[in-house]
Every structure is written in C-alpha cells, then in structure tokens.
Amino acid sequence: MAVGTGIGFLDATPASAAGVPAPPEPFDLYDLSDALTDAARPTANLITVVVNEDGTVSFDLPRSENGQGIPTAIAMIIAEQMDLPGDKVKVTLADARPELLFSQLTGGSNTIHAMYTPVRVAAAIAKGKLLDAAAAIMQEQAAQLTSREGLITGPAGQVLGYGDLAKAAAVSKTVPTGIPTLKPASEFRIVGKPTGRIDARDIVTGRKKFSMDLDIDGAVPTMVCRPPTINGKPKSLNNKAEVLAMPGVVDVAIITTGVAVCAGTVDGESDETVYKKLKAATLPLLPAAPGTKVIDTEFRSNFVSGSPLETNCAVADVRKGSAEIWSALKVPITAQAEIAERLGRPQLAVKVHVVQGGGSFGRKLFPDAALEAAETSPSRPRRQDLAEGRQDRQAHAAPRG
C-alpha cells in the first residue's frame, strides 16, 4: 500500500476550506503521459492485427514487457473488440522498428494510454474484413451478421469461424479505410473485468523465459568487470595470461566500459563440487573455553536477493555480415542506432529482438548491456569451438554482458 501527502506549510489552510478555488497545477492540464501519447501519435497506427487460419489472432506489440502485464492488457483489448475468447489472442514483442519513432518507447506507465485506441482501431478493421468476407460467402449484408467467440453467424443460421475466413479476408497491399466503429464500453465483456495474466502459470512454474534464459546457438557466457568509478574507462589488462589460465576461461578482452571475460563450462565441476571447495575453505571455529557446552551444527541455505529477477543482460551475435541482439530493451530503436554506431554499421544492418525482461523500473531505458554484448561478440570463440577444443579468432560468440 502506498500513501501520498501534499507538501506545504503546516499551518496553511486548504484553499477549499477557505472557499477560494485553487487553480489547476500544470500536471493537471498536461502530464508526462500526455506528452508520451502525443509523441507516439503520428506512428501509433502502424500496427497490424493478424488473423491466422487456426482461428487465433497475432499481434506484435511495439513495447517492452518487464513485468507490467501489458501483453495481457493488449490481448484483452483485441479480444474485446474482435469478439474473441482471450486465449485466442497471441501477443509477442516486436523487433526494433525505426519507422515507429516514439511509438516504440516504453516508459512513464504510458503503454495503455497511447495504444488503447490504435489497437482497438486495428482490431476493428480486422474484424470488419472478416465480416465483409463472411458476407460475400453467405451472400448477405455485413450489417446482418453477428460475431461472438470467434464465430460469425448469418441470419439463416450459417456459421463461419474466423480461421475459415482468414484467407478470404486477407489483403495483399495497404488500402485506405475509414474510421471503424468501435464497440461501446457498455457492451464490454472482457475489458474492465478481473482477468488473470496470460503468463501467470509460466511465471509460477518457472517456465517463463527472460533474456538470461535464452539459449542462442553458439552463445558463450560473458561477464564484464567495470571500473569502480562512474564513467570510468579501462586503461590496460595486466594479467591476461593469468586470467586465461583460470578454469573455463577461454578469452578476455578490453572493451569500452571494462574488461570482458568469456568463459565456458568446466569439466568435472558441479554445484556439489563447488560446495565442497567452499566448505573446505571455511575457517574452523576457535576452540571453546574449558567447560563450555558446544553445539556444532552445519546449515546450508540459499540467500534470497532483493534485486530484480534478472540482471542487466543481453545476447549478441555479431559477425562479418550480420549483427543480432536479444535484450529486454525499452527503447529498442535508440539501442539499435547506438549499437550500429559502435560497430560502424548502418542502423538497419543491426537486427534487435526485444525479449521479455525480469524487472526494470526504468533501468532498461538504457541499452548499455546490449552495447557491451555487441562490442564483446566479434572474435570471441563460439560454443561449438569450445566443445572441440578450438579458439578460432574468426569465430564469434553471443555473450551475455
């Protein structure tokens, strides 16, 4: 529970109590969410609702999901407008799309403010195309048809599913459409009603995949040791041979923000072997005073961290002719541009995949993990090279930074 209070003089009399109307504050007239919505407005309708032949509907959400639950909210909006069961809507996260400009920025709790109407419009257009296709097949007027639960029914009782109409309703090119009629709120059956998150079961059973859970082919875990000062830069790597000699380490290199250490698995090591080494390194207790009762008990426990579920991380696969990044980025277009600049490539030559993240609170507005991963990736050994005992300098890793 959060409690808020106003800031003012302790003895001040509220304007309302004194009978003097208080003027509106600037944020009452125009706040951050209003600004973000207006910034997104020019490209907010560059989105597509896709009807599949199995009767499901797909939508690429140009936002970042870090625990807010926006895929569930967007699925509810689409299902409501299209008269579909909620589990028939599949929401994924869109790759970086530079043409979207500010419409692919996640922040300020603005997603639903900015996308509510555009998503409803896209869903309404898709439903309209389905109705037109059904009307042509049934030889009826579209206005005489009704839709419910993914089915369109004609006045004579004919029934067609959305999947049956997917091909007939498809369009091969962009065509102008008028502003569709949106369902009135008085008819809502899904929006505004208690609804569980679509990923709830995966979350509680551990099946939900975050950036750090990705298993990209050839990826090798990489950690970055950064300077202890803000914006510090590494000067030199004085013990490279010593680091390379450590078990599992296959490469180490200086990057812009620190020293990247690439390490694979260590043969014969496991949680149990590591635990035994830790136990062996534990200092013995001091001898007890004579006559003192001693209770010697060993406890083994896992400490619970209060940090976000996922560290700041990314996966990068940078090669001579391609560059791909996977990360929970809240401004993927900016990340794409910064990565391209650091790699010396055109922006569109860098493919950025937005992955669901395990927490953010604004931190993932900054793409430093993706930048570090992209910079570390060239000339790192691939995982298959490690398995074969090779360290090919022309191979490329997809490190987690």
How many Cα neighbours within 13 Å face the side chain of 262? 27
Domain count, the chain: 2
Same domain, 100 and 136: yes
Distance, CA of 315 to CA of 51 (rounded, Å): 31
- The dihedral of CA 22, 24, 25, 28: what is its sign? positive
Same domain, 79 and 147: yes
The domain containing residue 352 runs over which residues?
A: 211-265+309-387
**Could you report how far apart the first and last alpha carbons of the chain are, in Å?**
35
Q: What is the pLDDT of residues 71-124, one digit of tens each?
A: 999 999 999 999 999 999 999 999 999 999 999 999 999 999 999 999 999 999
Q: What is the pTM of this model?
A: 0.82
Same domain, 74 and 195: yes
- Both tokens of 49, joined, read 């609702």
Same domain, 171 and 260: no
Binned at pLDDT 50, 70 and 90, residue 332 comes out as: very high
Identify which of 263, 236, 261 has the alpha carbon closest to the alpha carbon of residue 248.
263
Same domain, 249 and 322: yes
Q: What is the pLDDT of residues 147-157, one digit of tens each?
A: 999 999 999 99
Distance, CA of 281 to CA of 300 (rounded, Å): 15
Binned at pLDDT 50, 70 and 90, residue 394 comes out as: very low
Same domain, 321 and 340: yes
- Both tokens of 284, joined, read 């013995």
Contact 275, 298 (CB under 8 A): no
Q: What is the dihedral of CA 82, 84, 90, 96, to 10 degrees?
A: 10
Q: Is residue 12 part of a domain?
A: no
Q: What is the pLDDT of residues 28-50, one digit of tens each?
A: 889 999 999 999 999 999 999 99
- Both tokens of 208, joined, read 């939900």
Rg of the chain's alpha carbons, rounded to an integer? 28
Cα distances (angstroms) measured from residue 48 to each of 59, 122, 124, 181, 236: 7, 6, 11, 17, 50
> Residue 168: which CATH number?
3.30.365.10
Domain end (from 160, 177, 200): 200
Q: How many CB atoms lie within 10 A of CB 24?
A: 8
pLDDT for the residue 296: 83
Same domain, 248 and 339: yes
Distance, CA of 307 to CA of 54 (rounded, Å): 41
pLDDT for the residue 14: 52
Contact 104, 333 (CB under 8 A): yes
Q: Is residue 35 part of a domain?
A: no
Crossing angle of the two packed helices 111-138 and 32-40, in degrees rounded to 10: 40
Identify which of 39, 57, 38, 40 has the alpha carbon closest to the alpha carbon of residue 48.
57
Distance, CA of 401 to CA of 383 (rounded, Å): 16
Q: Is 262 left (phi over 0), alpha (psi -120 to 50) or beta?
A: beta
Give all strands (DSSP E) within 256-344, no chain letters. 258-263, 315-318, 323-327
Contact 342, 374 (CB under 8 A): yes
Same domain, 193 and 219: no
Binned at pLDDT 50, 70 and 90, residue 242 comes out as: very high
Contact 260, 372 (CB under 8 A): yes
Domain end (from 145, 172, 200): 200
Domain end (from 200, 220, 240): 200
